Structure 1
Amino acid sequence: MAKVKYYYDQETLSYRKVERRKRKILGGVTLFVFFSCLVGFLLYLFVGQVYDSPELRTVKRDKKFVELQLENMEEEIEQLTAVIADVEERDNSIYRIYFDANPITSEQRQAGFGGVNRYKNYEGYSDSDKVISLRESIDRLKKRTAIQSKSLDEIAVLAENKENLLMSIPAIQPVRNQDLTRMASGYGYRSDPFNKTRKFHYGMDFTAPRGTPIFASGDGVVERADANSSGYGNHIRIDHGFGYVSLYAHLRQRNPYNVKVGQKVKRGDIIGYVGSTGRSQAPHLHYEIFKDGERINPINFYYGSLTPEEFNELLKRSQQENISLD
């Protein structure tokens, strides 16, 4: 039960009972509640600014982690871009030039992506611009890497073909210098030994004793080993590929061949032996080279076996217009 309060009335010189008005009481309660709510709200704002909730701390931590990862990705993309640019430069300035391939232009390597917006799904977020930029950089790198990979595949094929070409070109003298009696006749107009008329001689004649070994001048496959071509007698033809064919004529009568048709040979393999069969005046090797079906001067293909001095001497003798032996 609430206590009853009294006050002293000086006019009546007596104590009177204090009576509370309901409206005043209600107003006081309302004012108290209002100020309590105001103070509580202000405290909430203050605490929210100074102290984060567990959920907010988690969100902020995750956001900071994502931002850090985006920065790391930007640095890695810059490094990868520098690496691929260096590889592209080497590809254009070294590899493709060496193998006679046209360089790939920067426009081809760095072309963008036209058409529809590829990055629409990344729009509308707080870090959309950064994410889209990174995504685009990655896509460009992937395209440049694909182009470079294709280029290296092409270079690998060219390198393999070039190695095969270098080994297939008939690049050595088919008879060793120490086995030669002399270099009788070269490529060009010579005096025919049979009718004494001036006639074009399409090969080179190397005089040597019967039975002197004859060497394949380049890698290839034996195309012919017979005596069924007019004037050549026992002879061998080797298909070197790349349009090159070498011919070795006037091999000896008995056991002239050290190879058979269809056999693969390597440069320097012994394929036959010197003789004087067919249209021949004396033991010698008649040697010819064909390129795409046309006879060419064999003197230009001895870089694989002669010193510069030996080559100059051979060139000098081959240019002398004398009598051929076939």
Structure 2
Amino acid sequence: MAKVKYYYDPDSLSYRKIETKKGKKIRNLALFFTAAAIAGAMGAIILLNLNIINTPKELALERENKQLKLNFQLLNKDMSQLEEVVSYLEDKDNNIYRVYFEADPIPDNQRTAGFGGVNRYSNLEGYDNSEMIIEARTRMDILKKRISIQSKSLDEIVHLAEDKEEFLEKIPAIQPVRNEDLKRMASGYGWRSDPFTKARKFHYGMDFSAKTGTPIYATGDGVVARADNRATGFGNHIRIDHGYGYLSIYAHLSKYNVRKGQKVKRGDIIGYVGNTGRSRGPHLHYEVWKDDERINPMNFYYGSLTEEEFDAMLKASSLENQSLD
């Protein structure tokens, strides 16, 4: 119940009841609510500008922004782990794979180079988090480039490995006469005494002394280029073209076990020891050629000799004795 208000009337020396006119009361109420609305609006504007409180939309955007920053942190962590893995692969690629297959290493500045020219990320500028976004995008692009380069390098290594496997099968790699069939390794590569003239002469192959009819083995895969007796001093001889510039010669044979144009595999019997041509006794004269030059066959026995057998063979072949042809 509203309180009744009085005022003192000095004329009548008594208290009289205050009568509020209805229109005035309504006007006072209107003024009060107007002032309250203005004060509320001003307070809201001040609070919003001071960032003391946020609208629901702003709160939602703030949560979304925090989530995006968290996702960027996780992305950067994942990229760091990928960069470590790629760096490990690049190191093995340069220092093991490419070295083994005789390929030039890929320079680090080529693997990790950025992108020159126009600004690739101009469309990402002008935002609150532009710097963070551009940094992440740059790292990702460089990482993608490194992975692409590494992928191409591994494709090259696979191709080289396949070629290397074929190469290793073809080049001469075993002794043409088995140790158990040998009488002795009669003469090696180098200066020797000619058995006919006794003059000092360079011997371009190795002589293996063995009984007539002892099997002779192809030292690597290849194609028989010649099987005849039309080479001066060699008598019956065989030449095998191994590819990659390699050729092997087997001379003074008693008979052939292959013909010209025939494909042979390492370890196939291609002929038998004899004493034909310019020879002082039954033996095999064996030569290895590379790019039309004769080289020391001692470098091509890694596929059939133990370390001790190789050392013994090396010692015997280095003696400057008399050759058999």
Question: TM-score over 0.5 for the alignment?
Answer: yes
How many angstroms does 1:123 deviate by?
1.2
State the distance in 2 between where 1:51 and 1:111 align: 45
Change (3 A) 1:279 1:135: same
Following superposition of structure 1 onto structure 2, how do residues 27-38 of structure 1 map, counting pairs within 5 Å? 28=28, 31-38=31-38
State the distance in 2 between where 1:200 and 1:207 align: 19
1:4 maps to none
Change (3 A) 1:57 1:282: same
**Which amino acid in 2 is paired with 1:223?**
A
SS of aligned partner of 2:242: strand
SS of aligned partner of 1:181: strand
2:313 counterpart of 1:314: yes
Query: Number of aligned pairs?
Result: 314
Unaligned runs of 5+ in 2: 1-6
Identify which of 178, 181, 184 aligns with 2:180: 178
State the distance in 1 between where 2:10 and 2:295 align: 149
**Which amino acid in 2 is paired with 1:318?**
S
Change (3 A) 1:310 1:49: closer
How many angstroms does 1:248 deviate by?
0.7
**Which amino acid in 2 is paired with 1:280?**
S
State the distance in 2 between where 1:50 and 1:137 align: 37
2:125 maps to 123
State the distance in 2 between where 1:167 and 1:80 align: 38
1:85 maps to 87
Following superposition of structure 1 onto structure 2, how do residues 33-72 of structure 1 map, counting pairs within 5 Å? 33-38=33-38, 40-41=40-41, 52-53=55-56, 55-72=57-74
Following superposition of structure 1 onto structure 2, how do residues 275-294 of structure 1 map, counting pairs within 5 Å? 275-294=274-293
Following superposition of structure 1 onto structure 2, how do residues 7-22 of structure 1 map, counting pairs within 5 Å? none
How many angstroms does 1:80 deviate by?
1.3
State the distance in 1 between where 2:85 and 2:20 align: 93
State the distance in 2 between where 1:112 and 1:312 align: 54
Identify which of 146, 149, 152 aligns with 1:150: 152
Following superposition of structure 1 onto structure 2, how do residues 167-246 of structure 1 map, counting pairs within 5 Å? 167-246=169-248
State the distance in 1 between where 2:89 and 2:260 align: 46
2:138 maps to 136
How many angstroms does 1:83 deviate by?
1.7
How many angstroms does 1:191 deviate by?
4.1
Following superposition of structure 1 onto structure 2, how do residues 80-119 of structure 1 map, counting pairs within 5 Å? 80-119=82-121
How many angstroms does 1:20 deviate by?
6.2
User: Once the two structures are aligned, what percentage of the paired residues are identical?
Assistant: 57
SS of aligned partner of 2:260: coil
**Which amino acid in 2 is paired with 1:31?**
L
Change (3 A) 1:114 1:236: same
Summarize deviations over 1:113-144 as a string: whole Å, max 9, x none: 11111001111222211111110110111122
State the distance in 1 between where 2:218 and 2:34 align: 112
State the distance in 2 between where 1:118 and 1:19 align: 77
State the distance in 2 between where 1:78 and 1:322 align: 66
How many angstroms does 1:204 deviate by?
1.6
Summarize deviations over 1:34-70 as a string: whole Å, max 9, x none: 22422553686679966843x4454344333322212
State the distance in 1 between where 2:144 and 2:294 align: 50
1:271 maps to 270
How many angstroms does 1:287 deviate by?
0.6
How many angstroms does 1:225 deviate by?
2.3
State the distance in 2 between where 1:210 and 1:164 align: 33
Indicate the RMSD between aligned Cα atoms, in angstroms. Answer: 3.5
State the distance in 2 between where 1:308 and 1:9 align: 137
**Which amino acid in 2 is paired with 1:277?**
T
* Further displaced range: 210-219 or 284-293: 210-219
SS of aligned partner of 1:285: strand
SS of aligned partner of 1:252: strand
How many angstroms does 1:250 deviate by?
1.9
Unaligned runs of 5+ in 1: 1-6
State the distance in 2 between where 1:301 and 1:103 align: 28
Change (3 A) 1:191 1:138: same
2:4 maps to none
2:299 counterpart of 1:297: no
Change (3 A) 1:36 1:309: closer
State the distance in 1 between where 2:60 and 2:314 align: 87
State the distance in 2 between where 1:123 and 1:144 align: 25
How many angstroms does 1:291 deviate by?
1.6
1:3 maps to none
**Which amino acid in 2 is paired with 1:35?**
A
SS of aligned partner of 2:254: coil
State the distance in 2 between where 1:313 and 1:85 align: 46
